[in-house]
Amino acid sequence: MTASTAEPSLKRVIGPGLLLLFVVGDILGTGVYALTGKVANEVGGAVWLPFLLAFVVALLTAFSYLELVTKYPRAAGAALYTHKAFGLHFLTFMVAYAVMCSGLTSASSASKAFAGNFGSALHADLAPTAVALGFITLVALINFRGVGESVKANVVLTCVELTGLLIVIAIGAWAIGGGEGDLSRLGDFNTPPGESIALSVTAATALAFFAMVGFEDSVNMAEETRDPVRIFPKVMLTGICLTGLIYVLVAISSVALVPPAQLGEGETPLLKVVQAGAPGFPIWLFAWITMFAVANSALINMMMASRLLYGMANEKVLPRVLGWVHPTRRTPWVGIVFTTLIAFGLIWFADLTALGGTTALLLLCVFTVVNIAVLVLRRDRVEHDHFHAPTVIPVLGALACAFLASPLSGRAAEDYKVAGVLLLIGVGLWAITYTVNRFVRHEEPHHLVE
């Protein structure tokens, strides 16, 4: 292939600073803003512990992602690693589809969180489901119109999200320093009769893990990062550690200022923390900050889901109609409609806890596969030097992720119901496409996962 006919490559414009902001910005958002109270419902005053354990599990998995992204610095993520390790087209499809579904459940949970904060900002008693459906429709329209994404724009979005959490931490520190907080709650465990503390903690950790997801998306920026083999390890680990520290401090501030039972009521837990610690603080301002953070999460996840659907359709692993592009807007309109309809169903039938739990469940399954793939791919040698995780880390990561994804962790049955329905839709889509491709004798595509 000559230079004139070669496919253009992605432009390497992301340095360490922008990559760090991308990692931090992708992790921050709906999880901690919306689910801190739900985690408190599970474990009581020791709400900081599940966030700490979720951070440890994410850190273990991050080591596996770092070995793989520096070994294969390409923008394909978990699907690429799965195919290289196992070579099973169906498994590769289901991993990619699970990542897409995690984006839909995350966007749906963001919509519900947006609705709760919207009512608080306007001081109005609004129907939250109607607001959430209206919001996700607006996201779909923006998605259809075309949103020029830029990592530099993520700097502004990340700063807004981070500002909201730093406000909570600062208010907590000020109130506790003034003797207003009750730190004794940090050691209280709220365990239902007949349930062990350990089971309560693992169930809460399985839910809190939703707040730590997002770091895995950064590997898709590998082809646009300057010297990814060198800078990815330091940047990703720094980003995860920063967000883990922020989450633990937010959890401590929250439960010290608001009793766990009150924190778990409704869908705006951090608003209650601000009200309790700084009654004079303009609550409407914090509500808008929260809405901006979760709105950004919803838009990014819906864009990711529709584009992933478009890509899978173009590779003939989904019906080609899902890859249709609008002739003037140049956006995947059928994929946008399809993913929006699924989001409608999730908003209507699933509550916020189930949506957050389902997002974590789907990604924990993907992370289990990725941790195993690291070990399998040790036999595949590459010519360049790359990050190498100590063998015990992916082993522990696989075991931890598999445990948190299993019923042994105390995970709610509703998570499996929602995830099961979504994955059954995926199996049906794969089966339809496979049958049609065989019938028309299309050659099976290879370049998606090569």
Note whether 335 and 307 are within 8 A (CB): yes
Closest C-alpha to 93, from 440, 432, 336, 442: 432
Burial label, 166 (beta-carbon count in 10 A; 0-12, 13-18, 19+): middle
Kindly state whether residue 4 falls inside one of the protein's structural domains. no
Does residue 447 sit within a domain?
Answer: no
Q: For 337-394, how does the pLDDT look when each residue is reduced to its tens digit (9 = 90+)?
A: 998 999 999 898 887 778 888 888 999 999 999 999 999 999 988 888 889 999 999 9
The reported pTM is 0.80
What's the CATH code of the domain at 181?
1.20.1740.10
Rounded-to-integer distance, Cα 104 and Cα 355, Å = 9
Residue 6 domain-assigned?
no
Weakest mean pLDDT among 1-5, 204-208, 221-225, 412-416:
1-5
Of the candidate ranges 27-31, 160-164, 210-214, the one whose mean pLDDT is the lowest: 27-31
Scan for tokens 């999460």, then name that residue.
297
| pLDDT at site 207 | 85
Q: Name the nearest CA neighbour of 402 among 356, 374, 363, 368.
A: 368
Per-residue pLDDT at 386: 87
**Residues 6+ positions from 29 with CB-CB distance below 8 Å:** 110, 161, 214, 293, 294, 296, 297
Evaluate whether residue 5 is within a structural domain.
Answer: no
Q: Are 225 and 12 in contact (CB under 8 A)?
A: yes
pLDDT at 10 over 70: no
**Domain for residue 450, yes or no?**
no
- Number of Cβ atoms within 10 Å of the Cβ of 331: 18
* Average pLDDT, rounded, for the chain: 82
| Residue 449 belongs to a domain | no
Print the domain residue range for 270.
Answer: 16-439
Average pLDDT of 171-183? 87
Question: Using the 8-state DSSP alphabet, how is residue 153 labeled?
Answer: H
Split at pLDDT 50, 70, 90, the class of 402 is very high
What percent of the chain has a predicted confidence (pLDDT) above 90?
Answer: 25
- Number of domains composing the chain: 1
- Over residues 33-75, the pLDDT tens digits come to 777 888 888 898 899 999 999 999 999 999 999 999 888 887 5
Predicted local confidence at residue 11, as pLDDT: 53
Q: Which amino acid is at 445?
A: P
CA distance 291 to 288: 5
328 lies in a domain?
A: yes
- Which neighbouring-strand residues pair with 247? none
Inter-helix orientation angle 197-208/48-71, to 10°: 50
Per DSSP, which regions of 319-449 are E strands? none
Find out whether 293 and 164 touch, Cβ atoms under 8 Å.
yes
The pLDDT assigned to 155 comes to: 67
In the predicted structure, residue 99 carries a pLDDT above the cut 60: yes
CA–CA distances in Å: residue 68 to residues 55, 243, 386, 450: 20, 22, 9, 15
* Residue 77 neighbours by CB under 8 Å, 6+ apart: 99, 216, 217, 219, 220
**Owner of token pair 């360490």:** 16
